[in-house]
Amino acid sequence: MRRVSEPITSRQRFLDALRGRVQAAPPGWMMRQAGRYLPEYMSASAGRPFMERVRDPELSAELTLQPIRRFGMDAAVVFSDILVPPSAMGLDVRFVESKGPILNPPVRDAAAIARLEPFDPLVATGFLAETLRGVRAALGSSHALIGFCGAPFTTASYLIEGGSSKSYERTKAMLFGQPALFDELQRRLVDALLPYLAMQVGAGADALQIFDSWGGSLDAATYRRMVLPHLTRLVAGAKAEGVPVIVYANGGDHLLEVLLATGADAISLDWRTSPEEARRRTAGRVALQGNLDPTILFAGPEATRAAVGSLLAGFTGQPGYVFNVGSGLLPGTPVESVAAAFETLQALR
């Protein structure tokens, strides 16, 4: 039990929210808070290809900590990428300027699925364990540390498309045309992601977030039938590690009820869901995280303060609320708007 005189730490504030506690002063962080909009990110990582930054524990720990130092977010999210597991499974993963990630070879048939290698997360992705331990040591118990992975659908789509996609034609051709094959791919991914998440908890992560970045491209009935069983298994396994689990689907307003069915502790909301609708549709059964439209920050600090104020009002009384953006911070986001958002949040303390 916390003593009355002891001030609550950021970490405690964050974990309390994920466990469903109503808080007058909610915690907050931002998806992609460690990133290209920060001048210190650009100077620390200049000249290093993206996957190299991720694989360098000293650099990635530094990049993880930068936004905490500048803005005092309550949680740090480890600087890493959802394509680390595909890389550990034997695919060549590269980030090409203005094209995004390229994965080789693409995984489009049973033979390619069979070739995916299981991996020992402490060996193949030991750099991430080292990063997490470094960040944990730097943070002590003052701030929370979030580990993460991509959801089965999103990870599968990268493998099948061989990179990003606008419409996921190949992914959905497999999903709708060869559902057993798509099932098998998701099963193998979840088999690999479970020990990968366990490793992150072992290395110091206080909470885990599962990103279904492209899940919003599926209608709810298809998602429920084809994706939910795999995502539910992943969530259950992650929770069994003893930490709270957050699920997020970009463009996922129509998936809210399906995400609720995963059993996650919290749902991170896309900005297109209004706080009122989110609360009505989840009815206190889950903590909520979100969901400032990240483009509002481009309108400057004043517009940001007003938008954050109105967002926080919309979530007042929610049993378990974590302030966040509704989609990752964009390159070019004005730093002073991010500062204004956290000043508004922290003024409640």
Which residue number, 99 or 115, has a Cβ lying nearer to a second copy?
A: 99
CB closer to a second copy, 17 vs 174 = 174
Distances (CA, A) of 14 to 37, 50, 149, 174, 307: 24, 29, 19, 39, 21
- CA dihedral sign of residues 81, 300, 340, 62: positive
Binding mask 227-266 for a second copy (x = CB under 8 A): ------------------------x-xx------------
* Contact pick of 172, 187, 281, 305 for a second copy (by CB under 8 A): 172
Classify residue 160 as left (phi > 0), alpha (psi -120 to 50) or beta. alpha
Q: Is residue 343 close enough to count as binding a second copy by CB under 8 A?
A: no
Write out the binding residues for a second copy, residues 259-318 only, by CB under 8 A. 271-274, 277, 293-296, 298-300, 303, 307
Q: Of 196 and 315, which has the nearer Cβ to a second copy?
A: 315
Does 324 interact with a second copy (rule: CB under 8 A)? no
Q: Which of 101, 98, 76 is nearest to 86 (CA)?
A: 101
Q: Measured from the CB atom, is 60 or 337 closer to a second copy?
A: 337
Number of residues engaging a second copy in binding (CB under 8 A)? 38
* Whole-angstrom Cα Rg for the chain: 19
Residue with tokens 């609320």: 321
Give one word for 40, left, alpha or beta, with left for phi > 0 and alpha for psi -120 to 50: alpha
Among 47, 140, 177, 242, which residue interacts with a second copy (rule: CB under 8 A)? 177
Least distance (Å) between residue 296 CB and a second copy: 5
Q: Candidates 8-16, 36-44, 142-150, 168-176: pick the segment binding a second copy (CB under 8 A).
A: 168-176
**Residue with Cβ nearer a second copy (106 or 237):** 106
The region of 52-60, 217-225, 281-289, 338-346 touching a second copy under the rule CB under 8 A is 217-225
Q: Is residue 170 near a second copy by the rule CB under 8 A?
A: yes
DSSP state, 39? H
DSSP string, 282-336: HTTSSEEEEEE-GGGGGG-HHHHHHHHHHHHHHHTT-SSEEEEESSPPPTT--HH
Contact criterion met (CB below 8 Å) for 328 and 248: no
- From 80, 82, 86, 88, select the one nearest 52 (Cα to Cα): 80
Under a CB-based contact definition with an 8 Å cutoff, are residues 218 and 180 in contact? Answer: no
Distance CA 239, CA 228 (A): 16
Task: State which residue, 215 or 319, has the beta carbon closest to a second copy.
Answer: 215
Q: Looking at 122, 138, 330, 335, which residue binds a second copy (CB under 8 A)?
A: 330
Q: Which is nearer to a second copy, 22 or 181 (CB)?
A: 181
Least distance from a second copy to the Cβ atom of residue 259, Å? 14
Nearer to a second copy among residue 218 and residue 238 (C-beta)? 218
CB of 144 to a second copy, least distance (A): 27
Helix (H, G, I), strand (E, B) or coil at 231: helix
Q: How far apart are CA 45 and CA 54, in angstroms?
A: 10
Dist CA 128 CA 123 (whole Å): 10
Q: Which of 168, 211, 248, 315 binds a second copy (CB under 8 A)?
A: 168
Rule CB under 8 A: choose which of 216, 244, 319, 320 binds a second copy: 216
Residue nearer to a second copy on the CB measure, 245 or 296: 296
Distance in angstroms (rounded) separating the CA atoms of residues 267 and 260: 7
- Identify residue 194 by its one-letter amino acid code: L
Encoded tokens for 258: 């399906």
What does the binding site for a second copy look like in residue numbers (CB under 8 A)? 167-177, 216-222, 251, 253-254, 271-274, 277, 293-296, 298-300, 303, 307, 327, 330, 332
